[in-house]
Structure 1
């Protein structure tokens, strides 16, 4: 990620995931102190809508498409 070594002195994170009539929603917030101007603008993205039926146990992943990084993972035993 960087030519120079990186270090994180302090960070906090909160995450949530929910399944409902409107589908799957997940969010995570990570807070770290960073110098001003160190975050590049986000790349453009395209949202899609899909439909699925969950009537048995299943696992799920929410993946950042550009990097392949898994953002949220979980297992539902009782849909």
Structure 2
């Protein structure tokens, strides 16, 4: 019986890893901003990370005033 070992990555790290494989000059990358999980960065840290990796589109699944405040003026 062969076993497959899966590497446990945080959702944010997995997203950034996947985004690094795409050519961002040909199109734009967006993310889905979720709030379920543990060890998630704060809203302002998440926005700073998106800006660092030139992610300019975000889909939010719930109304979160703190996340919207963090996004204000970020051009995301």
TM class by shorter-chain length? under 0.3
Higher relative contact order (CA 8 A, sep 6+): 2
Q: Could you say which structure has the higher helix fraction?
A: 2
Determine which structure has more spread, i.e. the larger CA radius of gyration. 1
TM-score (norm 1): 0.20
